[in-house]
């Protein structure tokens, strides 16, 4: 169900077309929807769960793009600076300042990590519990008849087979946590899940075509 490894370390680059779509979609939501997430950034996470249905469960999540390694720490500090500068003014001020910053954030695919996407989940959530047992998982990006940037964007069904890394500290955790804080406030007892791509398929209309 979840594919196999292609390289010794189990990590493959995200399909170029997929990353371009994700960057363009996020840029569009900042400019046209005041940051309200589009369904295209909210995949279903499939995790292994023996004894339930076909042996897997699906969980809705919202995923993020991770800055490229050479700018990761700087972007984290910029997220944190926005939050701390506006904290006294309240959540709405933090949100508005965050949106203003992100309007220019999603520009080039080269600004982002080409191998992974991330999310922030409660540490005791059923999805995280399952990933602690078995890190193999898949993300299903399923978009039908929903307005998005440009023509030809409305029909998509893509499966990313991933290795999940659960993080409770470190540079990646800090970046995702501070980014999330701009829009949802400071959270406790959460983990960052970094989904490292292993393979990808276009599964539109019953198909199964490998993506490069």
DSSP string, 20-67: HHHHHHHHHHHHHSTTPPPGGG-PEEEEE-TTSTTTEEEEE---EEEE
Report how far residue 47's alpha carbon sits from residue 44's, in angstroms, rounded to the nearest whole number: 10
Which pLDDT belongs to residue 1?
45
The residue behind tokens 């004894």 is 51
Average pLDDT over residues 106-116: 96
pLDDT digits (tens, 9 = 90+) for 32-75: 999 999 999 999 999 999 999 999 999 999 999 999 999 999 99
Using alpha carbons, select from 197, 36, 191 the residue that is nearest to residue 119: 191
Q: Domains in the chain and their CATH numbers?
A: 16-206 (2.30.110.10)
Report how far residue 134's alpha carbon sits from residue 183's, in angstroms, rounded to the nearest whole number: 30
pLDDT digits (tens, 9 = 90+) for 132-190: 999 999 999 999 867 777 655 578 899 999 999 999 999 999 999 999 999 999 999 99
pTM of the model as a whole: 0.92
Cβ proximity of 27 and 149 under 8 Å: yes
The residue behind tokens 């999603």 is 106
- DSSP E strands, 56-111: 56-60, 64-67
Cβ proximity of 182 and 74 under 8 Å: no
Which pLDDT belongs to residue 148?
77
Confidence bin at 6 (pLDDT 50/70/90): very low
Backbone angles phi, psi at 82, to 5 degrees: -60, -50
- Angle at Cα 92 formed by Cα 90 and Cα 97, nearest 5°? 100
Q: What six digits make up the tokens of 174?
A: 């800090």
Largest Cα–Cα distance of the chain, in whole Å? 52
Q: What six digits make up the tokens of 200?
A: 């990808």
Backbone angles phi, psi at 199, to 5 degrees: -165, 165
Report how far residue 175's alpha carbon sits from residue 177's, in angstroms, rounded to the nearest whole number: 6
Give long-range contacts, CB 8 A cutoff, 24+ apart: 92-101. 94/181, 94/182, 95/35, 95/182, 95/183, 97/182, 98/35, 98/182, 98/183, 99/30, 99/34, 99/35
């Amino acid at each position: 169900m979840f594919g196999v490894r292609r390289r010794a370390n189990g990590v493959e680059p995200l399909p170029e077309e997929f990353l371009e779509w994700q960057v363009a979609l996020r840029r569009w939501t900042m400019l046209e929807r005041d940051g309200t997430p589009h369904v295209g950034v909210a995949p279903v996470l499939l995790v292994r769960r023996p004894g339930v249905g076909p042996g897997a469960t699906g969980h809705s999540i919202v995923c993020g793009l991770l800055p490229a390694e050479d700018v990761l720490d700087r972007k984290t500090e910029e997220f944190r600076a926005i939050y701390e500068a506006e904290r006294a003014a309240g959540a709405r001020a933090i949100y508005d300042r965050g949106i203003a910053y992100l309007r220019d954030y999603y520009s080039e695919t080269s600004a982002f990590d080409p191998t992974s996407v991330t999310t922030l989940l409660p540490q005791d959530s059923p999805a995280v519990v399952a990933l602690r047992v078995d890190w193999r998982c898949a993300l299903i990006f399923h978009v039908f008849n929903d307005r998005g940037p440009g023509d030809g964007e409305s029909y998509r069904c893509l499966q990313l087979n991933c290795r999940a890394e659960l993080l409770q500290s470190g540079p990646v955790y800090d970046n995702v946590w501070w980014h999330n804080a701009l829009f949802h406030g400071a959270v406790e007892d959460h983990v960052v899940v970094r989904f490292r791509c292993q393979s990808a398929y276009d599964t539109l209309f019953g198909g199964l075509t490998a993506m490069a």
